[in-house]
Amino acid sequence: MKSSIDAKTLTVLVTGATSGFGAAVCRRFIKEGAKVIATGRRADRLKALKRELGPRCRIAEFDVRERRQVTAALDALPKEFAKINVVVANAGLALGLGPAQEADLEDWDAMIATNINGLLYTVRAALPGMVKRDEGHVILLGSVASDFPYPGGNVYGATKAFVKQFGLNLRADLLGSNVRVTSVEPGLAETEFSLVRFKGDADLAGRPYQGIDPLSADDVAETIFWSATLPRRVNINRLQVMPVMQAFGPFAFKRKTA
Ligand code: NDP
Ligand code: 8X3
């Protein structure tokens, strides 16, 4: 496509870069010459990624739930990494798959703190610079769970519905600037997501993927890279992507017994 953005001009902030989509996004952008700020809580993994990706990768260890850590990390960036023009607000998690009435409130708090508050702190910290420079792209990791309810998805799906709507509202606020906003909404993808949801139980975590060919982290990274390098006039508002082997079910009914 004419006038696509040259990845070499991009400085990409990625939250949740220690695993899954985030790590794949870092690799994808580095491959095309971008600079990347890879972040997460697990320092050992960040250091390994830095060793792999080299000098165009900078790492910053912080917890997105801690607002001050997020802003301090961005404030501490050296000038060659400070002009962030793509933010991939990806850090997030699901915890549990039980019905709401049995859910652990600690799990709900953690999902809200990470998927909503952490995402907001990340975007809010990077946004003024992008608006000031009149150039940038906010990419939010939503989910198909924002549109399609499923049993046990209760708070996780609701956090992703927040992400979707926040992205659309951001578009409204940013009209008149050259800052783009995209909500990327994957379906089933094989990462550490399921292992986290089932708290380290590898057997339970493997079940969603059995007998199907799920999305890979690289598949999702490709859609993110694509949306970020389209010509500046193009804004992908929402990008929903599923494995071919995933689709929609009918409504569920609890029928009266005779
Ligand atoms: P992974 O579990 O593989 O990766 C999650 C990443 O989020 C890790 O790097 C983790 O890093 C980071 N993270 C979690 N909590 C925090 C925190 N408090 N502070 C900083 N970083 C944090 O999962 P995915 O790659 O699959 O998930 C990435 C995003 O994609 C999430 O928002 C998820 O909801 C979404 N998603 C996933 C789908 C899937 O099927 N896999 C489908 C649709 C959306 P660390 O623990 O080192 O901090
Ligand atoms: C992750 C996909 O279907 O497990 O957002 O909610 S799903």
Q: How far is the CA of 223 from the centre of ligand 2 (A)?
A: 17
Phi, psi of 37, deg, nearest 5:
-110, 105
The atom of ligand 2 lying closest to the CA of 143 is: 5
Reduced to 3 states (helix: H, G, I; strand: E, B; else coil), residue 136 is: strand
Any atom of ligand 1 within 6 Å of the Cβ of 120: no
Catalytic-residue membership of 150: no
Whole-angstrom distance, CA of residue 109 vs CA of residue 113? 6
pLDDT in tens, the chain (258 residues): 667 999 999 999 999 999 999 999 999 999 999 999 999 999 999 999 999 999 999 999 999 999 999 999 999 999 999 999 999 999 999 999 999 999 999 999 999 999 999 999 999 999 999 999 999 999 999 999 999 999 999 999 999 999 999 999 999 999 999 999 999 999 999 999 999 999 999 999 999 999 999 999 999 999 999 999 999 999 999 999 999 999 999 999 999 997
How far apart CA 130 and CA 160 sit, in angstroms, is: 24
- Please report the sign of the dihedral spanned by the C-alpha atoms of residue 231, residue 232, residue 237, residue 238: positive
CA-nearest of 91, 126, 122, 96 to 109 is 96
Q: What is the pTM of this model?
A: 0.98
The dotted CATH code for 7-241 is 3.40.50.720
The residue to mutate among 163, 188, 241, 245, having the most atoms of ligand 2 within 8 angstroms of its beta carbon, is: 188
Which ligand is closest in space to the CA of residue 191? Answer: 1
Ligand 1 atom closest to 91 (CA): 7
